[in-house]
Amino acid sequence: MPHKMPDLFPFEVSGGPVRDALARLAAEGFIRYDRDGGKGHSTKEWTVKEQHDLHCLAFIFLTANMRCMVDRPTALFQEFAALDPDVPNAKDAPERVAGYFERLLMGLAYAGRNETLIEMNQTVVDRTHLVRLLDYSAPQVARSAAVALRTFSQAMLDEDLDTAQAAGQSQLDGRVARLPQLVEQANARARQARIP
């Protein structure tokens, strides 16, 4: 790998920090290293069960965060309650809708002021990002997610936790039903992504 560093990183970065970063990604389960096959690093393939568990954790965190807020992120709720209904029709809809979800989940985590929950939320957000992007690439799914985000945010402004939780549950149920196809698509992309 060191002989490939100049080609990969035209910046003045030594191999040590890059190896450390790759080792950390491998330890966290994002990539794997095929030492014997000589294939180098590759992204880890996901399983439907792993993604199911992570998405269920995201919903559990969402529910816990919305009930344990110390500071209400009112401005965040107002922004999402007024979300433009045409967002799902935009060219960058998957990235935008995924970003909205991630901002909401992390905003609620920070509002709870619990460092452990913040770290756990970030791990779940990171490990479900690609599957979420693939899901939102279907316009009807992105549209449904935007509506659910608006409903959730308005319910939180109205302090109607049951309606907010139902909006989150509907999104979880839909994603879980689509997970086998989404994981297959994510793994196809992972197989194409090789890291020397």
Neighbours of 52 (CB within 10 A): 16
- Supply the CATH classification number for the domain 48-191: 1.20.120
**C-alpha pair distances (Å), 164 with each of 10, 87, 96:** 48, 20, 21
The model's pTM is: 0.76
Q: Is the pLDDT of residue 41 over 80?
A: no
For 116-166, how does the pLDDT look when each residue is reduced to its tens digit (9 = 90+)?
889 999 989 988 988 999 999 998 898 899 999 999 999 999 999 999 999
Q: Residue 24: how many CB atoms within 10 A of its CB?
A: 11
DSSP 93-126: HHHHHHHHHHHHHHHHHHHHT-HHHHHHHHHHHH
Domain borders along the chain are 2-44, 48-191
Closest C-alpha among 44, 60, 54, 88 to residue 179: 54
Q: Is the pLDDT of residue 1 over 50?
A: no
